[in-house]
Amino acid sequence: MDNKTKVLIIEDDMFLLNMYAQKFTLEGYRVFAAEEGKKGLKLALKENPNIILLDIILPGMNGFEVLNELKAKDATKDVPVILLTNLSQRDDINKGLSLGAVDYLIKAHFMPSEVVDKVKNVLNK
């Protein structure tokens, strides 16, 4: 049993998903990835990640719905969730934070290395 920190990335853009997955793997994290909301939710319950990066615009079940479900389940309610999205409207940010996200990152504003740093900061709290 390895005790690596587990990161779940739920992102429908395969290029970004692979880029983040690679970045976190290189940093020594164990990465699980899902390209849609329902799959991400299942993975979260199965793998018990230490932190979740969650896109909002996803096929099927959107990130807000996934976040709501995660926070409603005992197994995942305490897992920190960082929303990683291109939605930059104040309403979306407020909604995400009010649903329980620990942070809200707008993809265009952050390099992958900065996202890794954000994750480290959250995990070290």
Per-position pLDDT tens, the chain of length 125: 456 999 999 999 999 999 999 999 999 999 999 999 999 999 999 999 999 999 999 999 999 999 999 999 999 999 999 999 998 899 999 999 999 999 999 998 999 999 999 999 999 98
How many helices (H) and strands (E) are present in the chain, helices listed first?
Answer: 5, 5
Provide the 8-state DSSP code for 10: E
d(CA 36, CA 78): 21
Is the distance from CB of 73 to CB of 45 less than 8 angstroms?
Answer: yes
Q: Which of 117, 95, 94, 93 is nearest to 105 (CA)?
A: 93
Q: What local confidence, expressed as pLDDT, does residue 2 receive?
A: 54
CATH numbers and ranges of domains, the chain = 6-123 (3.40.50.2300)
Please, which residues bridge with residue 104 across strands? 83
Q: 30-34 and 6-10: which strand pairing? A: parallel
Provide the whole-model pTM.
Answer: 0.95
d(CA 27, CA 75): 26
Q: How many CB atoms lie within 10 A of CB 7?
A: 26
